[in-house]
Amino acid sequence: MFTEQDGVAYLIGSKVPDRESYFFPAHLAGGDPAAVGAELEEVLLSPKGTVWSYTTSSYQPPPPFVAATDPYEPITIAAVKLEREQMVVLGQCVAGVTPDDLTIGSEVELVIDTLYEDDENEYTVWKWRPVTEGEG
Amino acid sequence: MDDIAILGVGMHPWGKWGRNFVEYGTAAAREALAEADVDWRDVGFVSGAITVRCGYPGYVAGSTFARALGFNGAQVASSYAACASGVTALQAARGQILSGSTDVALVVGADTTPKGFLKPNEGDRPDDMDWLRFHLVGATNPVYFGLNARRRMDLYGATSEDFAMVKAKNSRHAVHNERTRFNKEYGVDDVLASPVVSDPLRLLDICATSDGGAALVVSSMEYAKSKGITDPVRIAGLSTITPTFPDTVIDLPYLATDSAGATPEPLRGFKQSIADRVYEESGLGPDDVDLAEVYDLSSALELDWYEQLGFCPVGSAEQLVRDGVTTIGGRLPVNPSGGLGAFGEAVPAQALAQVCELTWQLRGQAGPRQVEGAKVGISANQGLFGHGSSVLVRR
């Protein structure tokens, strides 16, 4: 569902060939009714976007969510508008980001980060990180 | 579209009873049949709304209720459409009646709900969007409600006090409804003092989950007339439509919206289009509506519905609640039953419970919560995976 290339994190989406209709995640893509039957092609989505809205999971979500920390630390979740794709994608924000750090319209970038760890493995996921002055 | 008649309605009280859902649905069905004064053996179609939480899809819903009442040889069907299941079952019944396949139908939905967040079924299921949103993002239902509420604040200047006023209003209504689970009156301060669940929404802004059951007995207008009922509450519009691509508002359980890169957003969004359909079918409009039962999964979502149902321009719903327009006694009462905030959601029954309340209101049987002179009522509801429903009733 996501990848990293040359140090940049990307969501793997899909699109209709010759049409700017994008879907995420690729393996659960919907359809564009103007292109029924089109064979979708895989595409890397824009790695940056602007905050469309944001909220928190202040209480630990039920399974299949697995908390990264014990005790659970509230997570902040952003819905991010991608300009080229004209779509909004959900994701956790990196640890430490609170609603006070976000405003609608502010810029964020994608990173690959820890979802949770067990004795053997680290499981990863995409997260949104605010783009700070000078980094942008 | 021709009207159908609502001959009887029934509801098992909402609560956290922990008993078999079949019991609630059967009790509601018996009440609706008794009120309609219809012999169960005359019912030609049983339309069940399915619960997915209680085992083999609600014991295959329509049939389990038919058997509980005593198999009578009726045709049967069962519907699942998440929170819109009840009205989807009603849609099936209307189709049977208007096609002439049957004269009278029973529609029933009931649920027994576990404590806590609604969550997906067990197992490792990465091909299920509902599973993925919990596993990868921790996106519970309130997360989507929180995203929506933050938008209202940013775009329209809504405040936490506005959201709390919705809850306070609905709780005042619920004091007069013995079928709700919560009958306590809450003030704005109570809401603001409750803990944040999904910022900016607090515990009392968000509806709980409950046990409950609701049922309707519906018929052709001719059948109603044959029973001497010349002025029944009628269903004049009924909508169970899907969104029109591209739907650009993030909604549960999706991880992303459609893309508007190739096709511009439709002029009317998904929830507006749900209501448009019932207005079109009925030939009535927002100005004709006397009261509404809307899906206040959160207090902020109730405000959205004011706009989506056409009661006010987009961005001005807060003013209606501040001015008391949507309180009983106001110009256009919303959720006189107490709404989901007072019931807690019993998924397959909830959209039918909305129609039960509208029916009592239009008959003038709502007691202390009666909306004076109610002639036209509308319900609105949403469910995950692109479901939603609306019913317009009139007298």
Does B323 fall in a domain?
yes
| pLDDT tens column, B73-114 | 999 999 999 899 999 999 999 999 999 999 999 999 999 998
**Domains of chain A by residue range:** 2-130
Q: What is the largest CA-CA distance in chain A?
A: 48
Residues B265, B258: Cα–Cα separation, whole Å: 10
In which element (H, E) is residue A113 found?
A: strand A107-117
DSSP string across B212-224: EEEEEEEE-HHHH
Decide if A57 and B120 are in contact by the 8 Å CB cutoff.
no
Of A55, A87, A104, the CB nearest to B199: A55
Task: Give the gyration radius of chain A's Cα atoms.
Answer: 16
Give yes or no: residues B102 and B16 share one domain. yes
Which residue, among B118, B199, B304, would best test binding to A if mutated, counting the most A CBs under 10 Å from its CB? B199
CB B94 within 8 A of CB B2: no
The secondary structure of A53-85 as a DSSP string is: EEEEE-SPPPTT---SSSS---EEEEEEEETTT
Report, as an integer, the average pLDDT of B23-48: 97
Query: Inter-chain contact B262–A65, Cβ cutoff 8 Å?
Result: no
Tell me if B123 is assigned to some domain.
Answer: no
Gap between the Cα atoms of A57 and A37, Å rounded: 38
Distances in whole angstroms, Cα of residue A9 to Cα of each of A1, A2, A136: 11, 7, 15
Give the model confidence (pLDDT) of B283-341 as tens digits. 999 999 999 999 999 999 999 999 999 999 999 999 999 999 999 999 999 999 999 99
In a domain, B279, yes or no: yes
Q: What pLDDT does residue A134 have?
A: 59
Would residue B143 count as lying in a domain?
yes
User: Domain check: are B331 and B380 in the same one?
Assistant: yes
Give CA–CA dist B362/B375, Å, rounded.
Answer: 6
Q: How many domains does chain B have?
A: 2
If asked whether residues B330 and B370 sit together in one domain, one would say yes
A36 to chain B, any CB pair closer than 8 A? The answer is no
Q: Which chain A residues have a beta carbon less than 8 Å from that of B147?
A: 52-55, 77, 79
Does A109 contact B at CB distance below 8 Å? no
Within 8 A of A33 by CB-CB distance, chain B residues are 245
CATH of the domain at B198: 3.40.47.10
At residue B38, does pLDDT exceed 70?
yes
- Looking at residue B61, what is its pLDDT? 87
pLDDT in tens, B253-299: 999 999 999 999 999 999 999 999 999 999 999 999 999 999 999 99
Domain co-membership, B21 together with B148: no
pLDDT of residue A136: 45
Is B122 a member of any domain? no
Question: CA dihedral in degrees (B63, B68, B72, B77; nearest 10)?
Answer: -20
Residue B112 backbone phi and psi in degrees, to 5 = -120, 120
Residue B121 lies in a domain: no
Side chain identity at residue B275, one-letter code: A
More confident residue, B118 or B195: B195
Amino acid, res. B21:
F
To test the contact with chain B by mutation, choose from A16, A56, A98, A106 the residue with the greatest count of B C-beta atoms within 10 A, namely: A56
ipTM rounded to 2 decimals: 0.97
Are A86 and B127 a contacting pair at CB < 8 A?
no
- Can you say whether the dihedral through the CA atoms of B339, B344, B349, B350 is positive or negative? positive
The two three-digit tokens of residue B120, written as one number: 């997906």
Q: Which of B248, B257, B270 to mutate to test the interface with A (most CBs of A within 10 A)?
A: B257
B144 CA to chain A: closest CA distance, Å? 8
B386 touches chain A (CB under 8 A): no
Domain coverage including residue B48: 4-116+211-233
CA distance B194 to B184: 15
What's the mean per-residue pLDDT of chain B? 96
Which residues of chain B does A104 touch, with a Cβ-Cβ cutoff of 8 Å?
A: 150-151, 154
Across the range B213-228, mean pLDDT stands at 97
For residues B276 and B253, give the distance between their C-alpha atoms in angstroms, rounded to a whole number. Answer: 24
- Residue pair B316/B50 in contact (Cβ under 8 Å)? The answer is no
Let me know if residue B216 belongs to a domain.
yes
Phi, psi dihedrals of residue B216, rounded to the nearest 5°: -130, 140
Structure tokens at B205: 């802004």
Cα radius of gyration (chain B): 20
Examine the domain organization and report whether B320 and B365 are in the same domain.
Answer: yes
B180 and B297 fall within a common domain: yes
Same domain flag for B354 and B219: no
Task: Decide if B322 is inside a domain.
Answer: yes
Give the residue-averaged pLDDT of B8-25.
96
**Residue where a domain terminates, one of B174, B200, B233:** B233
Alpha carbon distance B389, B381 (integer Å) = 5
B247 and B157 both lie in a single domain? yes
Asked if the C-beta of B121 comes within 8 angstroms of chain A's C-beta atoms, the answer is no
Q: How far is A91 from chain B (nearest CA, A)?
A: 6
The beta-carbon neighbor of B146 closest among A1, A52, A56 is A56
The last residue of one of the domains, among B233, B267, B284, is B233
B62 and B137 housed in the same domain: no
Cβ-Cβ contacts under 8 Å for A94 (sequence gap 6 or more): A111, A113, A127, A128, A129
The residue length of chain B stands at: 395
